[in-house]
Structure 1
Amino acid sequence: MEELKYNDEESDEETVPKIHFSVAMWDFNQCDAKKCSGRKLARFGLLKPLKVKQRFPGIVLTPTAAHCLSPSDKNIIDTKGIAVVDCSWAKIKETPLNSLRPTYGRLLPFLVAANPINYGKPCQLSCAEAIAAALYITGFPDISEYYLSKFSWGHSFFEVNGDLLKRYAACSDGASVIEVQTKYLKEVEEEQKSNRLSLPDYPPSSDSEED
């Protein structure tokens, strides 16, 4: 498995946006510490580790949430911050996510991972990608890009999901984000179907001839 690569040094010309809200993470110690994007952000001082049973007042990105993140959540992030759960996708069912009891639990809409471990996999984002996606959708694009600039692969996330992120960011609430997601997935399905139908009819691979 390819190891994540990071940009550990900031460029002298890099513009550092003002981050006035809290960004945090619960770490369930299920991932390789050397490949954990959340721990790398913590090392840069861009993320605060939380204890497993510690409460967080702001937006919490968790797969147990009942509502989808949307631009209408901007004020909550602006005043109370945002947190993410760091756990293995293979161990979601055995992770005590319900113990977090978030006031503002949110699901991210459909996006595709671009990190080297899960590249191309739908919805299996790293902590850094999840935070960056949420910040972009809710109206903090500069901070979103700054967070992913810490990773050599970070630009790939925006290349893969750029159009979809802009669509989500233009929505008004969770319902409209779901509508955009549904429309996008339908477009992808129709495109795939069209590509299959456009393939030429190749002759059978058997060497035998029909009578």
Structure 2
Amino acid sequence: MIAPALVLVEPGAHRLGGHRHRTLTALATAHGNTLVVAPYGVAAETRAALVTAGARVTGPAGAVNAVLTAAGTAAVAVAAAGRRAFAFGRWPTVVRRLPHQVMLVARCLTEAACIRTGHHFAGPAATVVVLSASEALHGATGLIGGPHTRFVHEVVTTEDAVLRLVGRLTRRSERRCGCSPPPPPCTTS
């Protein structure tokens, strides 16, 4: 009997070495029936290790996912231009933080495209896990992409009013789609 597929979404798989390489290969080796969805490709050494472990490797596929990925890529370009434009001068805090807000939207769209791809290729019984996930816009990612589990990599992030509102509006989708919520923020006393 073949175990249901494990879908691993790793936005940073194109980077060499580090925890991404070790985590992806260890999980793929341990589970066996694994699909890795990497939006920006996979580093050569990681790809070789994944193929040796028997994992299938793909990027976002399908028309809707191509649109989501393209929108995410465009948002990354807008965020980079914003960082360059607002790097100098005395801009208000809201304006200086705008590129980061756009980057959070880009990550949401890209993660959603990968989650949708994983569900398409691996079926409804698959477990979809987003490694190196952003804690921002979890509900929106689940609403667009579907049920998944997140291993939050970027814990410290600042969401401005608009993104907090989107987060609140999509919070119900976390329960409805079966997504696991991100862990609560760490507090020290």
Q: Would the TM-score normalized by the shorter structure come out above 0.5? A: no
TM-score w.r.t. the length of structure 1 is 0.28
Query: Which is richer in helix?
Result: 2
TM-score w.r.t. the length of structure 2 is 0.30
Query: Which is richer in strand?
Result: 2
The structure that has the greater radius of gyration is 1
